[in-house]
Amino acid sequence: MATMVDQKAEQGLTLTMTRVIRAPRERVFSAWLRPETIRQWFGPEHRKVEDVQVDGRLGGRYEITMSPAHSPENCPNDHAPREKVAVRGEYKEISPYDRLSFTWCGDWNPTEESLVTISLREVEGGTEMTLEHTRFGSEASLAGHEKGWEHGLDSMVKLLEG
């Protein structure tokens, strides 16, 4: 597991995370485009996926709606989410089993449109997956996304290796 934060002038703040998954590239790639699979791994720990819409072709759009994982009275702290939110965007690159790129815009910060790129390569024992999330408008946004991606990617690894 590797996480790296970088500052590139043209991309704004950048988050890079790498995982090695004991699964074929085809299976890892499809986990990003199949609604029934996305429902099982996506999102931060305080959210559960409620609905997934995917038009998995170049220029196609996606939308993932999440609700609180706990009822408000059972939330662990005052910062726990209390309402539904969605993230949506457009597929900018789809290179089966190698690379997937899409825009990212969440309800919680509708003026920030960032870019997520997933790169896959075969390694001994499975697939190395690198997520690069660029164009963050602030350190706080990057930090929040880092927590969400940590949980989501860990869940994906468990799902695909299970």
pLDDT on residue 69: 83
**Residue 33 resides in a domain:** yes
How many CB atoms lie under 10 A from the CB of residue 64?
Answer: 22
Handedness of CA 58, 121, 37, 76 (dihedral sign): negative
Q: pLDDT tens digits, residue range 64-111?
A: 999 998 755 544 444 455 689 999 999 999 999 999 999 999 999 999
Closest CA to 144 of 152, 129, 38: 152
C-alpha 135/C-alpha 143 separation (Å) is: 13
Higher pLDDT, 45 or 52: 52
Q: pLDDT tens digits, residue range 132-151?
A: 999 999 999 999 999 999 99
pLDDT on residue 12: 80
Q: List the domain range (segments joined by +) for residue 34.
A: 2-45+92-161
Total number of domains constituting the chain: 1
Task: Taking residues 116-143, report their average pLDDT.
Answer: 97
pLDDT on residue 9: 44
**Residue 65 resides in a domain:** no
C-alpha 63/C-alpha 81 separation (Å) is: 19
Tokens 């038009």, residue located:
55
Q: Which residues contact 148 (CB under 8 A, 6 or more apart)?
A: 43, 44
C-alpha 91/C-alpha 57 separation (Å) is: 7
**Residue 85 resides in a domain:** no
pLDDT on residue 7: 46
pTM for this structure?
0.87
pLDDT on residue 144: 94
Angle at 132 between CA 41 and CA 17, to 5 degrees: 65
Residues 144 and 136: beta-carbon distance below 8 Å: no
**Residue 139 resides in a domain:** yes
What string of DSSP letters covers 133-145? EEEESSHHHHHHH
Q: Which CATH number is 152's domain given?
A: 3.30.530.20
pLDDT on residue 93: 98
pLDDT on residue 3: 52
Average pLDDT across the chain, whole number: 90
Task: Taking residues 10-29, report their average pLDDT.
Answer: 93
Percentage with pLDDT > 70 across the chain: 85
Between 5-14, 20-29, 37-46, 65-74, the lowest mean confidence (pLDDT) is in: 5-14
**Residue 73 resides in a domain:** no
